[in-house]
């Protein structure tokens, strides 16, 4: 009954370092998403995927890359971290629209707090 699992939960990076955030879901959801949460700005979509092997840009994609090699996993990469990427990152998954269960929205992970110094 894990739902959506994000690792790590906390991380401190130095400017210029790289890292990968891992998201895993066990609900057989087609769609997966990465959001970042900043004070006063809500959650903003970074990248998303509508199926294995597909990715697309969201609202704030610059400085990030993603991969969806397996249906259950969605990776978010920071190639060269910058202080502006200090944020809380959320992964989420969902059924595609058009299915009755889709109106239950997303299932979210518990978030990753990333600090870039």
Partner 1 sequence: AQTVTQSQPEMSVQEAETVTLSCTYDTSESDYYLFWYKQPPSRQMILVIRQEAYKQQNATENRFSVNFQKAAKSFSLKISDSQLGDAAMYFCAYRGAWKQTSGSRLTFGEGTQLTVNP
Residue with tokens 């944020």: 87
Selected binder of partner 1 within 5, 11, 22, 44 (CB under 8 A) = 44
Measured between alpha carbons, how far is 90 from 93 in angstroms, rounded to an integer? 10
Measured between alpha carbons, how far is 82 from 74 in angstroms, rounded to an integer? 22
Site string (46-85) toward partner 1, x via CB under 8 A:
--x-x-----x-x---------------------------
CA 89 to chain centroid, in Å, comes to: 6
In 8-86, the DSSP E strands lie at 10-13, 19-25, 31-38, 42-49, 56-57, 64-67, 73-78
> Which is nearer to partner 1, 2 or 98 (by Cβ)?
98
Query: According to the binding rule CB under 8 A, does residue 111 interact with partner 1?
Result: yes
Selected binder of partner 1 within 41, 80, 82, 84 (CB under 8 A) = 41
Per the structure block, which two tokens stand in for 94?
């969902």
CB of 25 to partner 1, least distance (A): 14
Would you tell me which residues interact with partner 1 (CB under 8 A)? 31, 33, 35, 40-45, 48, 50, 56, 58, 88, 90, 92, 94, 96-98, 102-106, 108, 110-111, 113
């Amino acid at each position: 009954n894990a739902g959506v699992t994000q690792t790590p939960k906390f991380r401190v990076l130095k400017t210029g370092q790289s890292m990968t955030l891992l998201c895993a879901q066990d609900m057989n959801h087609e769609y997966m998403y990465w959001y970042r949460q900043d004070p006063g700005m809500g959650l903003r979509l970074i990248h998303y995927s509508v199926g294995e092997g597909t990715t697309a840009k969201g609202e704030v994609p610059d400085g990030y890359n993603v991969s969806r090699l397996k249906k259950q996993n969605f990776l978010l990469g920071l190639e060269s971290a910058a202080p502006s990427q200090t944020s809380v990152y959320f992964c989420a998954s969902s059924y595609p629209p058009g299915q009755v269960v889709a109106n239950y929205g997303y299932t979210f992970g518990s978030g990753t707090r990333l600090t870039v110094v």
